Amino acid sequence: MVTIMSIIAVSAVPTLGVIGDTRKGSARDEVIRMLEYARARAVASGRPCGVQVLSVDSTMTMVQIASDGSIEPMLNPFGIDEESASIAVQFPGVEISSIDAQTDALETIWFTYNAQPHSRNADGTFGQINTGNASITLSSGDQILVYAYSGFVEMAP
């Protein structure tokens, strides 16, 4: 009986490592997906869209500029607010370590109608086109880049 338990325990330990690696990769992929979705929505709608990232609680919220210029949650195609994603809850063991949105004090990576990353002021007015790459760093060590001018999103090499 002890031998069987030992064999099971030895077999389970490597599996736990694989699960952790899968969570890290899935968290990275979710961050990339949300950024690419915001970029695509900005291009498709002709309105600025972005992802607000709060490293304090590791949440990401899709946002857009309303017709009156204010910042509001992004609506899905059915007119319902897009859900916020809690990286720490969805992917235990992974958190958002930091965000560098360049010049945006709102910790939001914005995209224009032509996919360019830019900053916005607290009242939603346009700030400036990013001249440097924006980035989000996860506790797993993965860094996701949003390239200046093009808005291309990828994992840092």
State residue 31's pLDDT score: 95
Q: What's domain 2-155's superfamily in CATH?
A: minor pseudopilin epsh domain (3.55.40.10)
Give 47-56 pLDDT, tens digit per residue.
999 999 998 8
**Where along the chain do its domains lie?**
2-155
**pTM (2 decimals)?**
0.83
Beta carbons of 91 and 97 less than 8 angstroms apart: no
Beta carbons of 143 and 156 less than 8 angstroms apart: yes
Compute the average pLDDT of residues 143-151. 95
Q: What gap in Å lies between CA 87 and CA 115, rounded to an integer?
A: 25
- For strands 143-146 and 134-138, give the pairing: antiparallel
Compute the average pLDDT of residues 69-96. 89
Q: What gap in Å lies between CA 28 and CA 138, rounded to an integer?
A: 8
